[in-house]
């Protein structure tokens, strides 16, 4: 079943040294056993052709071993009254409709502990459980850089690599900032602020839940000044430019945001840093001027000016946006074919899946997910974005292998569920809800052997545990965008910043990894470990002294 069934920027103390040099590389830190990092010598610096490398062996990618994962989520308001197959095939679209229907027919999904068939109508409060064999996408093999650790105030300042989400979301769990901080460096963290997965840069992480609540106040209250740097297409004007266009998310699947009067207020100030005539690209400083930034604010405001981020897969391709690349925003005249979200939702209630094949799904839920009536141009942009993603992920290949998943569900539930939870078979569909909603949170089941019976024929390139097709390695340069959280200023914690990324240098050599030349990178983690060891030794000595006095 779809991994998306699961529920899916910062600063130095005033007496701290200059943080532009207070950065540690951690490039040689020991990796956990669940992570594979290929030998960089396998590929020359200029040879990035994916076809020349075996899958799983790209030296610029970080890989994660596959694992079984029990999912649990609750019915969202927009799912109420709709059939489960119809919800899954239109809301998620990770795999083909045939795959989802077969999985449901096989009993892989349960609602309130009862096997759910494709025509089951979802109701308010329903809990959905299913187990999948997770194949986390690889991320770039750039380490998380620790800028500063303050144990007394309970926070850590880091620079997040692009391509890595902050916390568990969609297909990502082990490849997240919070998990990687713990697995790579042994530091348990809590998020205080967030950055988009594709965006790199400064973040503040708390060392406890209590510290997270305290540290987050300034972000929630809009007291943090946030400055970013971006590499954009074209020659950006020299003068400072302010954009105050409101923004609204109109497609959740693609995360598409457009400029529209119905959107959230957003103000961004831009100033060109340099211009790269050879590439016809500019490096621009960006500053959000409102209390809370809107989703994709900098990306969409840059596109509105006709200078989208140079490698932004969502907002900077002519195949999607045309030769103007979205300059001036999209047409807002509602399409004659469109319907309101309320009408689209009402049309779904109690109905079966209306599609006859996968390829007809492009238009199916556009009105369902948009809070406003969309123009024909906006609808076509969403369709092209979805088709582009589907072509890249080749989800139609799921038709090639049909397998029975019920055994996996039954075997894994016994390991993942607490014995204190009442057996699902004893519960009518909508009774015992308070008991069913308790129990342990989902955890990865790394050592679980595959309980699935393999098909009679397994084509090359398919997983030998769950028998699904394995996608080729992505090009590392498509996993992040040239947008970096450069500097945050707060009242409580002062100002923190990172040096400029290599791609933001005025004389860029084309290598996007690392920082601008001449940056000193001290080892913050080693210093912290030494301080912690010295503190522990002093505490042990004090305890021995107290015991000696008592004796």
CA angle 32, 36, 38 (to 5 degrees): 130
Residue 221, token pair as written in the block? 């209250």
CB of 282 within 8 A of CB of 234?
yes
3-state SS, 521-551, equals CCCHHHHHHHHHHHHHHHHHHHHHHHHHHHC
Task: Report the chain's C-alpha Rg in angstroms.
Answer: 25
Integer Cα distance of 286 and 282 in angstroms: 12
Integer Cα distance of 319 and 308 in angstroms: 14
- Cα separation values, 368 from 74, 124, 128, 348, Å: 19, 18, 21, 9
Query: What are the DSSP calls for 238-294, one per residue?
Result: SS-EEE---EEEEETTTTEEEE-TTSB---EEEEEEEEETTTTEEEEEEEE-SSSPP
Whether residue 119 lies in the annotated active site:
no
- Cα separation values, 111 from 121, 430, 444, Å: 10, 9, 21
Residue 456, token pair as written in the block? 């009679």
Residue 291, token pair as written in the block? 């209390």
Integer Cα distance of 469 and 455 in angstroms: 13
Backbone angles phi, psi at 515, to 5 degrees: -115, 170
Residues 96/99/100/102 CA torsion (nearest 10 deg): 150
Residue given tokens 């532009």 in the structure block: 20
Number of helices followed by number of strands (H, E) in the chain: 12, 19
CB of 271 within 8 A of CB of 242?
no
- Catalytic residue, chosen from 196, 251, 358, 367, is 196
Backbone angles phi, psi at 58, to 5 degrees: -80, 125
CB of 149 within 8 A of CB of 205?
no
Distance of CA 2 to the CA centre of its chain: 16
CB of 480 within 8 A of CB of 257?
no
Query: Long-range contacts for 235-239 (Cβ within 8 Å, ≥24 apart)?
Result: 235/275, 235/280, 235/282, 236/270, 236/272, 236/275, 236/282, 236/284, 236/305, 236/307, 237/272, 238/272
Integer Cα distance of 487 and 286 in angstroms: 10
How many CB atoms are closer than 10 A to CB 315? Answer: 21
CB of 104 within 8 A of CB of 117?
yes
Residue given tokens 């989400």 in the structure block: 165
CB of 168 within 8 A of CB of 176?
yes
Active site residues: 196
């Amino acid at each position: 079943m779809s991994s998306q069934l699961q529920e899916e920027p910062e600063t130095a103390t005033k007496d701290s040294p200059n943080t532009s040099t207070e950065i540690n590389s951690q490039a040689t830190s020991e990796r956990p056993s669940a992570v594979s990092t290929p030998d960089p010598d396998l590929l020359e610096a200029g040879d990035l052709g994916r076809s020349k490398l075996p899958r799983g062996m790209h030296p610029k990618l970080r890989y994660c071993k596959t694992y079984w994962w029990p999912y649990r989520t609750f019915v969202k308001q927009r799912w109420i009254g709709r059939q489960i197959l119809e919800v899954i095939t239109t809301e998620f679209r990770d795999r083909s409709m045939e795959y989802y229907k077969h999985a449901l027919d096989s009993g892989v999904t349960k609602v309130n502990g009862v096997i759910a068939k494709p025509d089951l109508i979802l109701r308010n409060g329903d809990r959905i459980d299913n187990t999948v064999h997770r194949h986390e996408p690889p991320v770039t093999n750039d380490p998380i850089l620790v800028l500063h650790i303050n144990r007394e105030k309970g926070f850590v300042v880091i620079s997040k690599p692009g391509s890595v989400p902050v916390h568990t979301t969609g297909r990502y769990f082990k490849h997240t900032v919070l998990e990687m901080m713990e697995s790579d460096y042994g530091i348990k963290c809590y998020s205080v602020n967030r950055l988009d997965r594709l965006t790199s840069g400064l973040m503040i992480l708390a060392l406890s839940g209590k510290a997270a609540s305290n540290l987050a106040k300034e972000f929630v209250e809009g007291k943090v000044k946030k400055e970013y740097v971006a590499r954009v297409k074209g020659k950006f004007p020299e003068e400072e430019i302010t954009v105050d266009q409101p923004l609204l998310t109109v497609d959740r699947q693609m995360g598409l945001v457009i400029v529209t009067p119905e959107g959230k207020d957003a103000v961004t100030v831009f100033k060109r840093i340099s211009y790269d005539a050879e590439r016809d690209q500019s490096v621009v400083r960006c500053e959000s001027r409102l209390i809370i930034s809107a989703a994709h604010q900098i990306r969409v405001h840059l596109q509105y000016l006709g200078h989208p981020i140079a490698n932004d897969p969502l907002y900077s391709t002519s195949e999607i946006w045309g030769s103007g690349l979205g300059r001036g925003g999209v047409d807002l005249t509602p399409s004659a074919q469109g319907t309101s979200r309320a009408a689209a939702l009402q049309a779904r209630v109690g109905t079966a899946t209306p599609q006859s094949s996968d390829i007809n799904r492009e238009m199916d839920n556009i009105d369902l997910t948009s809070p406003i009536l969309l123009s024909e141009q906006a609808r076509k942009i969403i369709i092209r974005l979805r088709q582009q993603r589907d072509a890249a992920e080749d989800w139609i290949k799921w038709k090639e292998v049909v397998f029975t998943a019920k055994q996996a569900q039954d075997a894994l539930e016994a390991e993942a569920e607490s014995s204190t939870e009442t057996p699902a078979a004893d519960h009518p569909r909508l009774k015992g809800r308070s008991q069913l909603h308790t129990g342990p949170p989902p955890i990865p089941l790394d050592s679980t052997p595959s309980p699935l019976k393999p098909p009679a024929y397994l084509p090359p390139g398919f997983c030998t545990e769950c028998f699904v097709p394995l996608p080729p390695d992505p090009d590392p340069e498509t996993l992040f965008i040239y947008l970096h959280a450069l500097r945050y200023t707060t009242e409580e914690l002062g100002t923190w910043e990172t040096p400029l990324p290599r791609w933001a240098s005025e004389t860029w050599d084309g290598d996007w990894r690392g920082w601008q030349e001449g940056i000193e990178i001290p080892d913050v983690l080693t210093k912290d470990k030494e301080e912690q060891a010295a503190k522990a030794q002093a505490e042990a000595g004090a305890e021995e002294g107290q015991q000696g006095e008592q004796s």
